[in-house]
Amino acid sequence: MEKFGKRFDGKVAIVTASTQGIGFGIAERLGLEGAAVVISSRRQKNVDEAVKKLKDRGIEVTGLVCHVSNEQHRKDLIKNTIEKYGKLDVVVCNAAANPSVDGILETKEPVLDKLWEINVKTSILLLQEAAPHLNKGSSVVFVSSIAGFHPPKGLAMYGVTKTALLGLTKALAAEMAPDTRVNCVAPGFVPTHFASFLTKNEEMRKSLEENTLLNRLGTTQDMAAAAAYLASDDAAYVTGETIIVAGGTPSRL
């Protein structure tokens, strides 16, 4: 079994969209390091299964249905967390959608609205609910993407919403300082359900791997390690930053 520190002993963490993939990996890592974690996603069945997996690993966990677009779900997520644990230390905004592979100029208005809503706006609305409960030393982590740096064909508008999170990280870091730090993880490609349309294609997968310096795709644990660092006191003097976790995929200087 992995050996982790206990950087989150006594802390309470919400991770959105966390019943599988990167969100689940982040919740698991925070939980293994001692946090009480509140996980959620759209489907009760997925929530129940993920809660069981985390409990089986000895993690203190609460699971709720929360479709991030649903105002009542967002309110309930915060309310239930505070009622159960009395405080909130970490919020990881991980939910995203990529409903279309169309070029930006071909993307229909409802799709543009959905991308903006799920990938950017709902994180802001959730943080508006969460902010009154965030104490000194608390932390927010956004999950952007390598696609936010170079929005690629087929992921262009999705990439632009992820670029917006880089700005949101800077803006909220200023607005929420000094009590709350705000940072961001920009994952490279990770073979989750979300990315399966790319990573299940052998040729595409190979080209994504070759585009890294480390010759492999990322893992959910790679992303969780970075998110846990940013959320922890190890990053006590880090705010407004984005860590790219993409195996050296070209991104920025």
Q: Where does this chain bind ligand NAP (CB under 6 A)?
A: 16-17, 19-23, 41-43, 46, 66-69, 94-96, 118, 143, 145, 187, 189-190, 192-195
End-to-end CA distance of the chain: 37
Complex with ligand NAP: residue 32 or 224, whichever CB lies closer: 224
Output phi, psi for 88, to 5 deg: -150, 125
Most distant CA atoms of the chain, gap in Å: 50
Tokens standing for residue 9: 């002993």
Output the smallest distance, CB 209 to ligand NAP, in A.
12
**Residue number with CB closer to ligand NAP (67 or 87):** 67
In angstroms, give the least distance from the CB of 179 to ligand NAP. Answer: 25
Count of residues for the chain? Answer: 253
Residue nearest to ligand NAP (CB): 21
Question: Closest approach of Cβ 56 to ligand NAP, in Å?
Answer: 18
Min separation Cβ 112 and ligand NAP, Å: 16
CA distance 97 to 65: 17
The SS3 of residue 148 is helix
Q: Quick check: 12 and 35 in contact, CB under 8 A? A: yes
Residue partners of 78: CB distance under 8 A and separation at least 6: 14, 88, 126, 129, 130, 133
Closest distance between ligand NAP and the C-beta of residue 26, in Å? 9
Question: Based on CB atoms, which residue is closest to ligand NAP, 64 or 131?
Answer: 64
Q: List the beta strands (DSSP E) in 111-195.
A: 134-143, 180-187
Separation between Cα atoms, residue 13 and residue 139, nearest integer Å: 9
Closer by beta carbon to ligand NAP, 82 or else 219 = 219
Closer CB to ligand NAP, residue 177 or residue 214? 214
Q: How far apart are CA 121 and CA 239, in angstroms?
A: 21
Active site residue ranges: 158
